[in-house]
């Protein structure tokens, strides 16, 4: 079945589109930017974990009063928030929030972070005041001890007890800061009660410092367990673990994605192999068709060469034929010319013959024989010649006879001289014909000064025999044309042919009116026009088109060379030859036009 070109194109395009989309689909699925985002996500989680550790580290540093600046406890949190926002936007881009497990893990982390933030903030507040009071304790105690030392009038023993109690309270409080036990707490409470009791025993000036000290110790007693418990709680908040959960989830997702990736990679590989096979197959097909095309090309080239050879051969044959034809045509032309010449010569010879015969006849019947008879009579009378001439009957007649004879011979001689003049004239004519023919036969193309009317006369003379035989009356309408520079031979060739054709054209006319009109004129001052008009058979319109074609003729004995060579000759002279006819029986007009070149010395 033959599929149309259009349909097959559509089919091909369709197959290409399908293959390309499969390839694209597999590529997109196998590539999946999940790996990139996975690495980035894991990195973000790792960074959050780092910040979390740093945060805890800073908390511990604050706990042991290594720093007095809480900015480091703020910056990890803001950094973690920033990192989490990055991570979260990346996660939501990957539609992780669609998974309930993911949402649960995410919410667990966020609530852990919220709790931890709350605890750390509380820790900051409480730890700050706790550290402050702890730092102040020795000073507060010193204030009291210094004041106690200034008391001189009181009971030494009691003062010492108070000092020891106060000092013990300080130590217990400081110990409590290190080991926060219920035992120590109880000790502190006892110490604080003692301090209150002691305060009552001391002067008014002591009340304020003691209140300050006891306030701060109360604060330590209150805040230290709180800070400790906050630290424990902070430790309990499993931010790190929640982050690990997220990492695990990421790992799981990534593993799943990798499995899918691998599957698609495998598909892609398979598909690529398929495509490669297809390509190879296509390449093989292509190479094969290429070879076929080559082969056909070679065959074509061979055929072409052969054809060319044949064409060449044919051309050569044609050329040969043409040259043969040309040769034959030339021979035929020459034969015609020769015939023409011989014909003319023959015609003239006829007159020569007649003249010779006339002279012969006249000589045969010459009166000169009478002179012989008269001489015989005279010779019979050698002695009595005078007597004979005067007395004899016959002798008396002799002088009169001689006189008559002289007259007759004179007449005879006159007639023979006339006849001989005619003869020599005819011989001259033959000479003329031959010399004209000789000059025509030459191939000279030299321009020479010419008289058109003389040329026409020459042409007419060369046809004169035939013209006379066919009783053609030549009408000459010659314009006033100065001598021109022209190619005599070509012009003669054309004129002889045209006159000859005109004569032939009128050979079948029944009536005796056979008129041929020769006209010469100058057109527009620059063209010489010579026309030959006959009143003969004319030219049919279909023949008109082919009349100058080589080999065309309407005559049985014609060879179709004459008009063709005339037209060629006209063109060679930068002129042209045209034929006009109104149709059969209306006669024909041949017009030769050549550029007018007036000979030097003419006006």
Partner 1 sequence: MTSLASLLCASLLLAAVAEAAPLEGPLKSLPPVPALDGRRVELGRQLFNDPRLSVNNSLSCASCHRLEHGGADDKPLSLGFDGKPVAVNTPSVFNASLNFRQFWDGRAETLEEQVHLVVQSSSEMGSDWTTVVQRIGADPAYGSAFAEAYPDAVTQANIRSALADYERTLLSSNSRFDRYLAGDTAMLTLEEKYGYQRFQDYGCIACHQGVNIGGNMYQKFGVLGDYFKARGNPTVADLGRFNITGDEDDRHVFKVPSLRNVAVTAPYFHDASEPTLEGAVAIMFKYQLGRIPTKEDTALIVLFLKTLTGEWQGKPL
Rounded Cα–Cα distance for residues 107 and 95 (Å)? 15
Q: Which is nearer to partner 1, 139 or 272 (CB)?
A: 139
Task: For residue 217, state whether it binds partner 1 (rule: CB under 8 A).
Answer: no
Instruction: Judge whether 127 and 225 are in contact, CB under 8 Å.
Output: no
Long-range contacts (CB closer than 8 Å, 24 or more residues apart) made by 22-31: 22/271, 23/268, 23/271, 23/275, 26/264, 26/267, 26/268, 26/271, 27/268, 29/260, 29/261, 29/264, 30/261, 30/264, 30/265, 30/267, 30/268, 31/261
Q: Which residues pair with 592 in a beta bridge?
A: 530, 577
Q: Which is nearer to partner 1, 72 or 370 (CB)?
A: 72
Nearest distance from C-beta of residue 159 to partner 1, angstroms: 23
Which residue in the set 49, 131, 184, 559 belongs to the binding site for partner 1 (CB under 8 A)? 131
Which residue in the set 69, 248, 435, 438 belongs to the binding site for partner 1 (CB under 8 A)? 69
What is the CB neighbour count within 10 angstroms for residue 2? 5
Give CA angle at 382 (377, 384), nearest 5°.
Answer: 95
DSSP letter at 97?
A: G
b/e map 73-112, b = 16+ CB within 10 Å:
beebbebbeebbeebeeebeebebeeeeebeebbebbeeb
Two structure tokens written together for 132 = 């402050």
Task: For residue 68, state whether it binds partner 1 (rule: CB under 8 A).
Answer: yes
Q: How far is CA 319 from CA 311, 313, 324, 346, 497, in A?
A: 12, 10, 8, 38, 27
Q: Which is nearer to partner 1, 78 or 181 (CB)?
A: 78
Two structure tokens written together for 162 = 């108070």
Q: Which is nearer to partner 1, 71 or 524 (CB)?
A: 71
The piece of 73-81, 161-169, 359-367, 432-440 that touches partner 1 (CB under 8 A) is 73-81
Q: Which is nearer to partner 1, 69 or 369 (CB)?
A: 69
What is the CB neighbour count within 10 angstroms for residue 541? 10
Which residue in the set 40, 121, 175, 457 belongs to the binding site for partner 1 (CB under 8 A)? 121
Nearest distance from C-beta of residue 55 to partner 1, angstroms: 13
Cβ-based neighbours of 73, under 8 Å, separated by 6 or more: 55, 58, 59, 62, 120, 124
Q: Which is nearer to partner 1, 212 or 408 (CB)?
A: 212
Which residue in the set 31, 42, 124, 362 belongs to the binding site for partner 1 (CB under 8 A)? 124
Which residue in the set 128, 257, 358, 378 belongs to the binding site for partner 1 (CB under 8 A)? 128
Rounded Cα–Cα distance for residues 1 and 235 (Å)? 83
Task: For residue 160, state whether it binds partner 1 (rule: CB under 8 A).
Answer: no
The piece of 67-75, 159-167, 357-365, 528-536 that touches partner 1 (CB under 8 A) is 67-75
Which residue in the set 57, 78, 255, 527 belongs to the binding site for partner 1 (CB under 8 A)? 78
Which residue in the set 1, 4, 6, 71 belongs to the binding site for partner 1 (CB under 8 A)? 71
Q: Which is nearer to partner 1, 69 or 414 (CB)?
A: 69
Nearest CA among 217, 214, 206, 213 for reference residue 159: 206
Which residue in the set 32, 47, 86, 122 belongs to the binding site for partner 1 (CB under 8 A)? 122
The piece of 126-134, 280-288, 428-436, 441-449 that touches partner 1 (CB under 8 A) is 126-134
The piece of 213-221, 266-274, 421-429, 467-475 that touches partner 1 (CB under 8 A) is 213-221
Rounded Cα–Cα distance for residues 247 and 231 (Å)? 26
Which phi-psi region, left, alpha or beta, contains residue 425 (left: φ > 0; alpha: ψ -120 to 50)? alpha
The piece of 33-41, 75-83, 531-539, 576-584 that touches partner 1 (CB under 8 A) is 75-83
Which residue in the set 19, 22, 23, 74 belongs to the binding site for partner 1 (CB under 8 A)? 74
Which residue in the set 23, 90, 129, 190 belongs to the binding site for partner 1 (CB under 8 A)? 129
Task: For residue 111, state whether it binds partner 1 (rule: CB under 8 A).
Answer: no
Two structure tokens written together for 164 = 């020891």
Cβ-based neighbours of 331, under 8 Å, separated by 6 or more: none
Nearest distance from C-beta of residue 209 to partner 1, angstroms: 8
The secondary element (H helix, E strand) that includes residue 461 is helix 452-462
Which residue in the set 70, 266, 281, 290 belongs to the binding site for partner 1 (CB under 8 A)? 70
Task: For residue 57, state whether it binds partner 1 (rule: CB under 8 A).
Answer: no
Task: For residue 80, state whether it binds partner 1 (rule: CB under 8 A).
Answer: no
Q: How far is CA 219 from CA 225, 271, 363, 441, 520, in A?
A: 10, 77, 197, 156, 155
**How many residues contact partner 1, by CB under 8 A?**
27
The piece of 70-78, 94-102, 244-252, 266-274 that touches partner 1 (CB under 8 A) is 70-78
Query: Strands 515-523, 473-478: parallel, antiparallel or unpaired by DSSP?
Result: parallel
Q: Which is nearer to partner 1, 92 or 513 (CB)?
A: 92
Nearest distance from C-beta of residue 221 to partner 1, angstroms: 13
Nearest CA among 437, 456, 443 for reference residue 572: 443
Q: How far is CA 543 from CA 2, 111, 392, 548, 551, in A?
A: 53, 118, 87, 9, 12
The piece of 198-206, 214-222, 462-470, 485-493 that touches partner 1 (CB under 8 A) is 214-222
Task: For residue 343, state whether it binds partner 1 (rule: CB under 8 A).
Answer: no
Instruction: Judge whether 454 and 491 are in contact, CB under 8 Å.
Output: no
Task: For residue 208, state whether it binds partner 1 (rule: CB under 8 A).
Answer: yes
Q: Which is nearer to partner 1, 77 or 588 (CB)?
A: 77
Nearest distance from C-beta of residue 67 to partner 1, angstroms: 8
Task: For residue 115, state whether it binds partner 1 (rule: CB under 8 A).
Answer: no
Query: Strands 484-487, 515-523: parallel, antiparallel or unpaired by DSSP?
Result: unpaired
Q: Which residues bind partner 1 (CB under 8 A)?
A: 67-71, 73-74, 77-78, 81, 118, 121-122, 124-125, 128-129, 131-133, 135-136, 208, 212, 215-216, 219
């Amino acid at each position: 079945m033959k599929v149309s070109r259009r349909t097959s194109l559509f089919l091909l395009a369709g197959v290409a589109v399908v293959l390309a989309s499969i390839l694209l689909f597999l590529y997109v699925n196998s590539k999946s930017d999940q790996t990139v985002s996975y690495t980035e996500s894991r990195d973000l989680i790792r960074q959050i974990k780092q910040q979390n550790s740093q945060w805890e580290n800073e908390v511990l540093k604050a706990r042991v009063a290594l720093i007095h600046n809480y900015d480091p406890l703020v910056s990890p949190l803001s950094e973690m928030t920033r990192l989490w926002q990055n991570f979260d936007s990346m996660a939501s881009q990957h539609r992780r929030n669609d998974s309930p497990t993911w949402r649960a893990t995410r919410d667990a982390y966020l609530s852990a972070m919220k709790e931890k933030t709350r605890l750390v903030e509380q820790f900051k507040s409480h730890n700050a005041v706790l550290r402050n009071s702890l730092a102040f304790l020795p000073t507060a105690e010193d204030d009291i001890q210094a004041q106690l030392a200034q008391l001189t009038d009181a009971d030494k023993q009691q003062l010492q007890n108070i000092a020891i109690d106060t000092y013990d309270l300080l130590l217990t409080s400081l110990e409590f800061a290190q080991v926060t036990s219920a035992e120590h707490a109880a000790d502190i409470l006892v110490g604080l009660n003692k301090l209150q009791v002691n305060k009552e025993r001391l002067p008014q000036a002591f009340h304020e410092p003691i209140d300050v000290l006891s306030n701060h110790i109360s604060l330590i007693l209150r805040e230290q367990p709180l800070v400790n418990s906050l630290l424990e709680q902070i430790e309990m908040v499993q931010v790190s673990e929640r982050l690990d959960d997220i990492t695990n989830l990421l790992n799981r997702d990534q593993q799943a994605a990798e499995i899918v990736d691998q599957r698609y990679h495998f598909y892609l590989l398979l598909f690529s192999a398929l495509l490669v096979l297809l390509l190879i197959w296509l390449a093989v097909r292509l190479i094969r068709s290429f070879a076929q095309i080559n082969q056909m090309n070679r065959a074509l080239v061979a055929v072409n060469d052969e054809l060319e050879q044949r064409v060449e051969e044919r051309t050569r044959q044609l050329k040969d034929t043409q040259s043969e034809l040309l040769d034959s045509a030339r021979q035929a032309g020459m034969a015609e010319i020769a015939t023409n010449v011989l014909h003319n010569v023959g015609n003239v010879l006829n007159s020569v013959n007649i003249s010779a015969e006339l002279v012969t006849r006249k000589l045969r019947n010459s009166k000169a024989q009478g002179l012989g008879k008269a001489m015989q009579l005279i010779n019979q009378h050698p002695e009595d010649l005078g007597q004979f001439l005067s007395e004899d009957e016959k002798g008396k007649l002799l002088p009169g006879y001689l006189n008559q004879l002289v007259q007759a011979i004179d007449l005879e001689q006159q007639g023979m001289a006339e006849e001989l003049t005619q003869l020599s004239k005819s011989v001259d004519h033959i000479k003329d014909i031959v010399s004209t023919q000789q000059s025509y036969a030459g191939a000279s193309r030299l321009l020479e000064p010419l008289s058109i009317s003389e040329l026409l006369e020459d042409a007419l003379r060369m046809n004169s025999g035939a013209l006379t035989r066919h009783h053609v009356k030549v009408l000459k309408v010659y314009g006033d044309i100065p001598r021109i520079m022209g190619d005599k031979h070509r012009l003669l060739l054309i004129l002889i042919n045209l006159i000859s054709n005109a004569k032939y054209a009128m050979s079948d006319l029944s009536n005796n009116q056979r008129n041929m009109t020769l006209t010469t004129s100058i057109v527009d001052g620059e063209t010489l026009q010579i026309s030959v008009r006959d009143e003969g058979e004319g030219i049919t319109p279909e023949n008109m088109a082919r009349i100058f074609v080589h080999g065309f003729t309407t005559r049985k004995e014609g060879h179709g060379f004459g008009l063709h060579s005339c037209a060629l000759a006209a063109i060679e002279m930068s002129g042209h030859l045209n034929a006009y006819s109104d149709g059969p029986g209306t006669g024909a007009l041949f017009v030769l036009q050549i550029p007018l070149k007036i000979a030097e010395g003419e006006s």
